[in-house]
Structure 1
Amino acid sequence: MTIASLELASLLASRLCHDMLSPVGAMSNGLELLTEEKDPEMRQRCFELLEQSAKASADKLRFFRLAFGAAGGFGDTVPLSEPRAVVDALVGGNGRISLNWSLSGDAMPKSAVKVLLNLALIGIEALVRGGTLEIAAEVRGTAEHAVSEIVVRASGPRIAFDPAVGHALDGTLSPDALSSKTAPAVMIHELTSSLGGGLQYHVGADALVMGAALPAA
């Protein structure tokens, strides 16, 4: 599978815009209602909705900046507190998903953090009916032969997992199936492969398990 960098970047941008449309649209609608509403209680409700939409927009922007962009500072590693904070915020507004973390160490390479975040995104999307998202990550081995290992498990009723995303993860996606939905999985497959690592996944009726191993040195 050979994907042009420009095409992949365009689809990732489309994905970001798609996910941002809802909270930004809600803010626009809230401002329009606020200009017309005279009742104090309804105006207060408008302010609350605007605050919620603004927070959702900021949370998604922070997530995508780290998952798709070049965020994380100028060093080669990113403190694990950063991906944890953006995933916590992204899931925080969804009362149907509980989140469990198991992180070893204080930091991981930027490439591993991108993989972790995008696997977490796939896991969140699989839990359309709610459930539990478990994320584990650690760096094993010596400094010269270190490997970043990541496991994301989404468990809940009737897991929703597009087979095309699975093909993107394992590198068998047909070029004509590339879309804004599969682009994040394609990105981390190409990133992982370029580093000599690998991605795996297994999906069942009530659980989706994804794993990654990337050379850290």
Structure 2
Amino acid sequence: MAELVEINGTDLAAMLCSRVCHDLISPVGAIGNGLEVLADPEQAEMAEFAQDLINSAAKQARAKLEFARLAFGASSTQGTEIDTREAEKVAQSYMSGEKADLDWKIVPVLLPKNKVKMILNLLLISAGSVPRGGMITVELDGAPLGQEGVILRSTGKKTLIPYQVGPLLAGKPEDGRIDAQVIQPYYAGLLARDAGLDVTIEMIDDEVIIKAVAPA
């Protein structure tokens, strides 16, 4: 059985920064391409398309940045708790650029920052489980306040459990290595463990279910 892998804070920060940069490369690159077209008088007929590209990419980049600020960063929110309405806002904005739709069923409540970060990071995994689109439902598990966990359900045309996500959530990658390519699910599992929750992922029929709940 693989052993729990621990990484130091410096490496964790560096890998998470790499993940954020990776997510922003595409929309920022698209903005740059659009600006190049607008600056080229020989491509005047493409100006309208370029402007639409810039507008769309800028919206996507902003959504990804706002999501990353809450999911990975320290966040500017005061105190140690976050209103779930703020989490829903950034989650819906982020998912508007993804193929799946989001059904956020968490009622307005204050949750610890790291638990909110965990929910958003688990949402990224759920989005990866429906690569051809579908529906993701997010809800608390009904445990008493302070002990609440979260359940995410993904359904779609072709659902799957992303490669190695189960072991990474458990902090026990099969090859014993953590790098920038797999840091996000590892980080999600780390947040769950810090919250005292057990996190699992399974597929039942065509539904992928992620649970982060208090130990039985």
TM-score class, shorter-chain normalisation, is 0.7 to 0.9
C-alpha distance in 1 between matches for 2:109 and 2:45: 46
1:97: how far off?
A: 1.7
Question: Offset of 1:120 from its aligned partner?
Answer: 0.4
Which of 100, 103, 128 does residue 103 from structure 2 map onto? 100
Partner of 2:157 in structure 1?
157
Counterpart of 2:213 in structure 1 is 213
Structure 1 equivalent of residue 138 of structure 2: 135
Provide TM-score, normalisation by structure 1.
Answer: 0.87
Asked whether the 8 Å contact 1:201–1:208 carries over to 2, the reply is yes
Look up the match of 1:64. Answer: 68
1:68 Cα deviation from its structure 2 partner: 0.4
Native 8 Å contact 1:112 1:214 kept in 2: no
Task: Give the residue type in structure 1 aligned to 2:189.
Answer: H
1:26-37 matched pairs, under 5 angstroms: 26-37=30-41
Matches within 5 A, 1:18-33: 18-33=22-37
CA distance in 2, matches of 1:198, 1:14: 27
RMSD: 2.2
61-70 vs 4-13, greater mean Cα deviation: 4-13
Per-residue deviation at 1:140?
A: 3.6
SS in 2 for 1:162: coil
What letter is aligned with 2:179?
A: S
Aligned to 2:15: 11
Residue 62 of structure 1, CA deviation: 0.4
Conservation of the 8 A alpha-carbon contact between 1:139 and 1:147: no
Query: What is the match of residue 170 of structure 2?
Result: 170
Normalising by structure 2, report the TM-score: 0.88
Q: Is there any run of 5+ residues in structure 2 with no aligned partner, and where?
A: none
In structure 1, the partner of 2:181 is 181
Give the aligned residue type for 1:133: I
* Offset from partner CA, 1:69-118 (integer Å, 9 cap, x none): 11151211101111111111111133x42221211342211111001000
* CA deviations over 1:5-61 (Å, ceiling 9, x no partner): 222221111111111100000001100011014666531221111111111000000
2:48 matches 1:44: yes
Alignment identity in percent? 29
CA contact (8 A) 1:137 1:149 kept: yes
Residue ranges of structure 1 left out of the alignment (5+ in a row) = none
Shift of 1:193: 1.9
Structure number with the higher strand fraction is: 1
Shift in Å, 1:198? 1.7
Q: Could you tell me whether the CA contact under 8 Å between 1:23 and 1:53 is conserved in 2?
A: yes
